[in-house]
Structure 1
Amino acid sequence: MSAVLSEANPDERRMLADSVAGFVRQGKDNNGVHRARAVKAGASPLDRETWQQMADLGWLGIAVPEASGGLGLGVGELAVVAEGLGGEAAPEPFVATAFAQAVLAGCDNAELVDELLGASATGDTLLAVAWQPAVASLALDELDERLEGGRLTATRRLVQPSGADVFVVAVRDENGLALYRLPCDTPGVTVETQTQVDGHAVATLVCDGVELGAADCLAAGAVGEAALLRGLCVARVAASAELLGLADRLFTLTSDYLASRKQFGAQLSSFQVLRHRAVDLYIQRELMRNALRQAVRAFDSGADLVAVQRAAARAKSRCADAALKIAREAVQLHGAIGYTEEADVGVYLRRVIALAAWLGNATAQRREYARLTRAAA
């Protein structure tokens, strides 16, 4: 059962969870693990047909306001879908897209925002946020490149999805932090890709004197900064939900394996030391659930931005650490077969490794939580 079904809007979330469960298990040749293996083997990072199916189900419109053609639902609904997709290791960039949509929803260029969000909700346009000037950059004050004469020369790293049609790029201008629309085919834009351990590609966006006009500005100053900060919170909570889905499936796979595999004439699950290790993993999974519930509750209750930031950092820290522990233990408890390409646990492990680091690993999230706590004191 999803970690957030018992929270606000339980009926809507239950229907979403059922929808995801039906989608991800369409058959052995089209389930999430199969698609993830195909991406790792070099297939296109995005199956447009599958992506369109997700759009037709309404999932790509969850974070999009109704005025922009979306469903206007909340972070809890995003978490339900992300958790379900994680449970089948689905490789589609659902969480990265929700990140971009959440940032756009906080911008104040209404006409341009509606255009981009509407195209994203229908699956026609793939969006990505380009905001990190360096791999280890997680603070907005590290964005120091400025628009000079309306032109930008800068680099943005770790951009996902790498094949985005439009980037939402964060820059500095006379008003402070600003967000601009940047189509991928804009003159002066170069997109370089690098493959991660799970086969997904991340992009390095290089802008060489790229012209950014007032018509492309989505938000500036305090509005732009708040939009990016809140979008980061949404993305971290959704990523936490996907990590929970991955970890939950790993726990189930491992429990089933221990119950079915025999050694010395006895089931592995009957050995006390292995049962203790399985209980430890169960506890880690439940801690993930609780951290995710608290983060979703912060959004549902309309908490202020600082409270939401703290809740998101706490959830991402807990879920990243616990998912990595569960994934590593799952491989070990499977024994030699856990290290083979044929074992599904390897697919989940690779995705956990990549996702746990995205938008800041557990250590970075704890530092962010401490910084926010000190600032509020």
Structure 2
Amino acid sequence: MSAALEDDARAESIRMIRDSAAAVAPPGGDLSRIRGLRFKAPGHDPATFRQLGEMGWIGLRVPEAQGGAGLGLGEACALAEELGAALVPEPLIPAMLSASLLAAVGAGPLEALLAGTALPLVAWQERADTLEVPGTPDAPRKFLVNAAAATSFLLPVREADRIALYEQAGGALTLEPTQDGGTFGTLTPDLAGASRIAGDIGEALALALDEAALLTGAYLLGGMERALAMTLDYLKTRSQFGKIIGTFQALQHKAADVKMQIALTRASIEAAAATLDEGATGDLRRATVSRAKARAAESAMVVTRQCIQLHGGIGYTDDYDVGLYLRKAMVMANQYGSATLHRRRFMATSPEGEE
């Protein structure tokens, strides 16, 4: 197949993924379902999560031989972007992280996860704002998204110079509410009641975490674009002093700045997905992901705050939807590494950061 035909086929694949997202992400921007799930356990709809499995989204990155779709990060980022635009709360990115890890080791509840009937969560994080996995056997595992719905937990545990993987069913779990209406969980490991399912997952977990960071950036990109679209619609209809406020030059300049932030984020996300799909490894992979995630995390906060300001007083009320995008950005911007962490990692791993 020629390069042109391959590019056309890839573009068509991404278009189909975006179209399929309408099943759970209404293109009209109706957020009534999202509002109905806020601040209620488990924070998402289990039936919709099963639907994600039935549509093949959880296994999007899993090889076909293991029951997945075997697609690339270009398709996965396009899907995450569409879900971000609709603020879909179902834990697709954590589920895809678990699926990638279980597929790499060839063990654990992969089949049930791909079907959306199980949610094993990778409990890897021991402190805030890190991508490092110490694997301390008895250390509490923190910042577990949608932990209340987990059917089991996948625990990376250091054994000598390797990271092994254990599966723990249940355990001591505490939940804390988050700004977007969901929860973060903290799990106390109980290795005595856990099963050892793999002996060395270090590199597989590092790759899965990088992909999760990139997908989180894509989700934030979708939220930014939807928040701007809502804002532009508002600027075209709201009148003040007898004029449509969208004609005010100062507001036009702010909207243009926001649009530039989104364009730069899109370029970073799409370039990173293409680079990883081409097989980037090591420092190149880490630098590429960090550049995109840093841009997305920082831009998401800038864009959503500016969109609220452009709405004026109504933007600060919880009843108005644009504020939901700021709340989501506040929660997700630091997941899988903040902008600060990723800037540091980019400087440490990219040739562009060398003196």
Q: Same fold (TM over 0.5)?
A: yes
Relative to the length of structure 1, the TM-score reads 0.86
Alignment partner of 2:169 out of 170, 183, 208? 183
User: 5 Å matches for 1:37-52?
Assistant: 37-52=35-50
Please provide the CA RMSD for this pair.
2.2
> Structure 1 residue 239: deviation in Å?
0.4
Is the 2:347–2:353 Cα contact (8 Å) retained in structure 1? no
Which amino acid in the other structure matches residue 11 of structure 2?
P
Change (3 A) 1:166 1:208: closer
Is the 1:324–1:353 Cα contact (8 Å) retained in structure 2? yes
Find the aligned partners of 1:54 and 1:26 in 2 and give their Cα distance: 17
| Partner of residue 122, structure 2 | 129
Give structure 1 regions of 4+ aligned residues with deviation exceeding 4 angstroms: 374-377
Alignment partner of 2:61 out of 60, 63, 68? 63
Find the aligned partners of 2:353 and 2:218 in 1 and give their Cα distance: 27
2:261 is equivalent to residue 263 of structure 1: no
Find the aligned partners of 1:368 and 1:345 in 2 and give their Cα distance: 32
| Partner of residue 149, structure 1 | none
Find the aligned partners of 2:293 and 2:130 in 1 and give their Cα distance: 17
Find the aligned partners of 2:263 and 2:120 in 1 and give their Cα distance: 33
> Structure 1 residue 12: deviation in Å?
1.1
Find the aligned partners of 1:127 and 1:210 in 2 and give their Cα distance: 18
Is the 1:313–1:368 Cα contact (8 Å) retained in structure 2? yes
2:287 is equivalent to residue 287 of structure 1: no
Find the aligned partners of 2:112 and 2:280 in 1 and give their Cα distance: 30
Unaligned runs of 5+ in 2: 1-6
Change (3 A) 1:376 1:248: closer
| Partner of residue 139, structure 2 | 154
Which amino acid in the other structure matches residue 57 of structure 2?
W
Change (3 A) 1:286 1:8: farther
| Partner of residue 348, structure 2 | 371
| Partner of residue 226, structure 1 | 203
> Structure 1 residue 35: deviation in Å?
2.9
Change (3 A) 1:123 1:252: same
Alignment partner of 2:197 out of 217, 230, 238? 217
2:165 is equivalent to residue 195 of structure 1: no
| Partner of residue 82, structure 1 | 80
1:53-108, CA deviations, whole angstroms, 9 ceiling, x for partnerless residues? Answer: 2222221221222122111112111111110011111111111111222222332x
Is the 1:102–1:234 Cα contact (8 Å) retained in structure 2? no
Which amino acid in the other structure matches residue 160 of structure 1?
V
Find the aligned partners of 1:7 and 1:277 in 2 and give their Cα distance: 36
Say which SS state the counterpart of residue 24 (structure 1) adopts: coil
Is the 2:129–2:335 Cα contact (8 Å) retained in structure 1? no
| Partner of residue 23, structure 1 | 24
Find the aligned partners of 1:144 and 1:83 in 2 and give their Cα distance: 31
Change (3 A) 1:329 1:106: same
Find the aligned partners of 1:58 and 1:314 in 2 and give their Cα distance: 29
| Partner of residue 228, structure 2 | 251
Say which SS state the counterpart of residue 79 (structure 1) adopts: helix
Say which SS state the counterpart of residue 330 (structure 1) adopts: helix
| Partner of residue 4, structure 2 | none
| Partner of residue 12, structure 1 | 13
Say which SS state the counterpart of residue 87 (structure 2) adopts: coil
Is the 1:324–1:352 Cα contact (8 Å) retained in structure 2? yes
| Partner of residue 93, structure 1 | 91
Change (3 A) 1:159 1:375: farther
Is the 1:36–1:347 Cα contact (8 Å) retained in structure 2? no
Find the aligned partners of 1:36 and 1:169 in 2 and give their Cα distance: 30
Find the aligned partners of 1:167 and 1:43 in 2 and give their Cα distance: 18
> Structure 1 residue 160: deviation in Å?
2.2
Which amino acid in the other structure matches residue 15 of structure 2?
R
> Structure 1 residue 212: deviation in Å?
4.2
